[in-house]
Structures are given as C-alpha cells and as structure tokens.
Amino acid sequence: MAAFNRRQILMAGAGVTALAALPACSNPPGSTDSGEKVEVFSWWSGPGEEEGLKALIEKFKADNTGVEFVNAAVAGGSGTQAKQVLANRMRGAQPPDSYQLHAGLEASDDIKAGWLEDLTAMYDSNGWKAKFPKGLIDNLSIGGKIYAVPVNIHRSNLMWYVPKKLTEWGIAAPAKTWAEFLAQAETLKAKNVAALSVGATWTQLHLLENVLLGELGVAKYNGLWTGATDWKGAETIAALDTFKKVMAVSVVGTDDWQATIDKVLAGTAAYHVMGDWAAGYLQGAKALKYKDTYDVVASPGSTGVYNFLADSFTLPKGAPHRAHAESWLKLCASPEGQDLFNPLKGSVPARLDADKAKYKDYLAWALQEWQNSSTVVVGSLVHGVVANNAWKAEIEKAYGVFLQDKESAKFAEAVSKAYTANK
Ligand code: GAL
C-alpha cells in the first residue's frame, strides 16, 4: 500500500474489462434507511476548503429533490479535529452516511477496523475500475475489495509566493534547493522579511515531509516509510538539521493554512509550503491571478515529483441512509461531479476521463505534471498515504518534543522505534 508507481497509475484501466453490471447493493438487514436525508462528514469548511463541496452539494440537491443534505463538516486543516470526532462516532455506532478519507495507509486502517462497506460491486456495476488509476484504486483496497471512491488528486510539495514581491526584495527566482532557500533567507532578513510562513503543527509536519523529500530525493524519501531508509542514518539527520534551519528563518504561528499563507500575501514572509488546496483559496476567496498576483513552484529539491494525496468518500457500515449515500458516492465518482468539484478545490480529477478544458491556470499546469509520464509520484505522510494512523500519531508526538528540544538524533530515534512498533 505504499506510494505507487507513476506508470501503474497511467496504465489504469488497461486490461481491465468492465464486468457485467451487478445489481446495486440493497440495504442490509437491520439498517434503517428511513429519513429522506444524507449526512456527509468532511473537514471542508471555510474559505478554500468548502467551495468545491458546496458545488457538489448543490448538484446533489438538484438531482435528489426532497432529500435533505446534512453537511457535517468539522473545521480544521488536514482533518486533525474531524478525525477525532469521526472516530468517536464510529466507535459509538453513530456513523454518518459517508465520510472523507485519504487513500493509502489511512484508508487501510479504517478497512481493517471493519468500519467500511465493500464497494466492489458498485465499482463493477458502474464500470469505475476502468475510470480511475489502478494504483489509486489499490490504495483504497485490501484483498482485492475496494472500500472508497476517490474525488481528487492533490499535490503536497508546492511552494507559493507573490512574484512581484520577490522581485521587489531582489530575489530573481524562487529557490530550487533548500540550500538556495537558506541563502535567500539572508537577503530577506536584511529586508525584515521572513523566508517562510508556517502555522499549526500539521502545517509544520507538511513542511517537514517536503524538506525530507527535497533533501533526500525520491528513493530515500520512499524508504523512510518502508524501513529501507534509516531514520537514524547521517543523511536523514542532516535533512532534519536542514528542517531546523528552515524553521529558524520562518515566521512560525499557530494558525491554520489560510491565515498562514495570508502572511505571504501581506509581504511578512516570502514563501509558504502547502498543498494545492491553496490554489482554490488564492483564486477563489482571494481572487488572485496565477503568474500575476500569485505563483507556485515545486518545493525546493522536488521538481518533477508529485507528492500525492487523494480525498475519497466511503460508505460506513450501518450508514443510516444507505441508498442516498450511494447516490452521493455516484455523484463523487461521476465526471460531472469531479469536474464541478476539482476546479474549485484546487485539485486535479481522480478520474482519467475528466474534461481537461475545465482545468485552467495553476490547474492546467498541475494536470500536465500529473499526466506527464516522467513525473515521479510519491505519497504524503501528513495526508494519509505512507504511514498508518498509529505510527503517524507517534511521529506527531515525537515532533512535539523535537520542536522544543531541537534534537534531530533523538527525534529520528523516536520515529524509527515507533515504526518498528507499529508496522
Ligand atoms: C488535506 C485534504 C485536502 C485539504 C487539506 C487542508 O488533508 O486532503 O483536501 O482539505 O487537508 O485541509
């Protein structure tokens, strides 16, 4: 279930024959499909998060008149708060009708916990297996059974900036390596500008994964999650030391990503490393123009690499309004749904046959990079792809200590030990 290979993704569908249509799932005994409503749980609330969801909700309502849509979004970037609320609901046998889940080891955990219905029959009856990258479906499956519907592909390794401000500060081009970034930080410091803006803990870990990627390169980055790269080895420690230097030239807050990127717009900081949901925010709520009032490059050292994550929706066991949940999943999987949602969300479609013309500005570049056969795909730590929930929680705990004591070797030791304990 680790990061999948670019070619596997693009080969999706090749050789997969659409199976004969199977009957749609019916309600299992004991399920209570009574009310005319559907409750969808996510963490998409607030500017840059909710616009795409709202477009899907409108379409759902138009297609399902009389069905109440309950938007159970719990605010907080990367789902930090939402996941806790969801876990309590699932453990208390109060599932929503569908919930947001990342492809990868995060999905495996919920599948193994027995929380999710097997959607393989839905995939077969709707011919979906041929419509999504095979590698992506694999990241939502265990034992050949598929448990979620992907709505998008996001890219984590991006660095956002305001081109005119860089020019004003005497920076000719965005940094291509972390060493160059640190050199630029000196120039910026003399102008009273922080090199980077970073916020709440998850945004710091988001930065950390991309410093590790940029410093270690693809093979060693991948090895961090499979045990092949030694966390305690000299190269990893050196990359962690680079991360400390990056943090030292950053303005570090506690805000979520929107307020953190706002500091770049205000000119307090030069850059922000964030996923491409930022494009939804900058082009939507902030009404900025790609290449003019904002711009973006791969984070230092990661040109040609797509550090991916994919948002997906599920059918939890015991969903009270199963039939409407299935309508929701069908909308999420449809080309119309994907092309309504993704241009607003700042992501590229998970479907292979989406309408390219709908992806403009930043998203035209994103789609081109995603579909380029020489692009290398790796998986995100923070957004559920490469570490199971138990290990990720241990990494977060160790990071809290690292932030205080700044001891790279101690952090590496803790992460490595937690890998062995939780793999
Ligand atoms: C990610 C999620 C994205 C975006 C981001 C910020 O985990 O996959 O869709 O919402 O968090 O909240």
Q: Which atom of ligand 1 is nearest to the CA of 384?
A: 7
Angstrom distance (rounded) from CA 216 to CA 232: 13
Atom 12, ligand 1: residue with shortest CA distance:
77
In the reported structure, the alpha carbon of residue 280 is separated from the centroid of ligand 1 by a whole-number distance in angstroms of: 11
Whether 370 and 344 map to the same domain: the answer is yes
- Taking CA atoms, 325 is separated from 26, 30, 41, 141, 330, in Å, by 12, 16, 11, 19, 9
In the reported structure, the alpha carbon of residue 179 is separated from the centroid of ligand 1 by a whole-number distance in angstroms of: 28
In the reported structure, the alpha carbon of residue 211 is separated from the centroid of ligand 1 by a whole-number distance in angstroms of: 19
User: Which residue type does 110 have?
Assistant: D
Sign of CA dihedral 347, 43, 272, 155: negative
Whether 110 and 138 map to the same domain: the answer is yes
In the reported structure, the alpha carbon of residue 20 is separated from the centroid of ligand 1 by a whole-number distance in angstroms of: 35
Which helix (H) or strand (E) segment holds residue 348: the answer is strand 348-349
Per cent of the chain over pLDDT 90 is: 91
Mean pLDDT of 348-376: 97
Mean pLDDT of 246-274: 98
Using a 10 angstrom Cβ sphere, with 0-12 exposed, 13-18 middle and 19 or more buried, the burial of residue 109 is middle
Q: Which atom of ligand 1 is nearest to the CA of 309?
A: 8
Q: Which domain holds residue 417?
A: 158-301+388-422
Q: Does the pLDDT value for residue 79 go beyond 90?
A: yes
Q: Does the pLDDT value for residue 329 go beyond 80?
A: yes
| Total domain count, the chain | 2
Angstrom distance (rounded) from CA 183 to CA 198: 18
Domain for residue 165, yes or no? Answer: yes
CATH code, domain with 234: 3.40.190.10
Q: Does the pLDDT value for residue 131 go beyond 70?
A: yes
How do 152-155 and 311-314 pair as beta strands? unpaired
In the reported structure, the alpha carbon of residue 82 is separated from the centroid of ligand 1 by a whole-number distance in angstroms of: 11
Whether 291 and 401 map to the same domain: the answer is yes
Q: Which atom of ligand 1 is nearest to the CA of 257?
A: 6
Domain for residue 173, yes or no? Answer: yes
Whether 257 and 328 map to the same domain: the answer is no
Give 184's pLDDT tier (boundaries 50, 70, 90).
Answer: very high
Atom 7, ligand 1: residue with shortest CA distance:
78
Whether 252 and 398 map to the same domain: the answer is yes
Which residue among 44, 102, 154 has the greatest number of ligand 1 atoms within 8 angstroms of its CB, and so is best to mutate?
Answer: 154
Q: Which atom of ligand 1 is nearest to the CA of 311?
A: 8
Domain for residue 257, yes or no? Answer: yes
What is the value of pTM for the model shown? 0.93
How do 158-161 and 295-298 pair as beta strands? antiparallel
Mean pLDDT of 314-328: 98
In the reported structure, the alpha carbon of residue 227 is separated from the centroid of ligand 1 by a whole-number distance in angstroms of: 26
Whether 336 and 403 map to the same domain: the answer is no
Q: What is the mean pLDDT of the chain?
A: 93
Q: Which atom of ligand 1 is nearest to the CA of 347?
A: 9
* CB atoms near residue 227 (< 10 Å): 12
Residues enclosing ligand 1, CB less than 6 A? 43-44, 49, 77-79, 102, 154, 275, 277, 309, 311, 383
Whether 65 and 140 map to the same domain: the answer is yes
User: Which residue type does 92 have?
Assistant: G
Mean pLDDT of 126-135: 98
Beta-strand (E) ranges in 123-266? Answer: 141-142, 145-146, 148-150, 152-155, 158-161, 194-198, 250-252
In the reported structure, the alpha carbon of residue 275 is separated from the centroid of ligand 1 by a whole-number distance in angstroms of: 8
The single-letter DSSP state of residue 292 is T
Domain for residue 163, yes or no? Answer: yes
Domain for residue 215, yes or no? Answer: yes
Report pLDDT digits (tens) over 29-55.
444 445 799 999 999 999 999 999 999
Of 346, 275, 320, residue with least CA distance to 98: 320
Whether 209 and 294 map to the same domain: the answer is yes
Whether 96 and 12 map to the same domain: the answer is yes
Angstrom distance (rounded) from CA 142 to CA 108: 7
Whether 38 and 139 map to the same domain: the answer is yes
Tokens of 241: 């030391």
Q: Does the pLDDT value for residue 322 go beyond 90?
A: yes
Domain for residue 380, yes or no? Answer: no
Of 221, 225, 197, 207, residue with least CA distance to 158: 207
Whether 59 and 192 map to the same domain: the answer is no
Atom 2, ligand 1: residue with shortest CA distance:
78
* CB atoms near residue 190 (< 10 Å): 10
Q: What is the pLDDT of residue 35?
A: 78
In the reported structure, the alpha carbon of residue 3 is separated from the centroid of ligand 1 by a whole-number distance in angstroms of: 18
Atom 8, ligand 1: residue with shortest CA distance:
311
Q: Does the pLDDT value for residue 359 go beyond 90?
A: yes
Whether 99 and 130 map to the same domain: the answer is yes
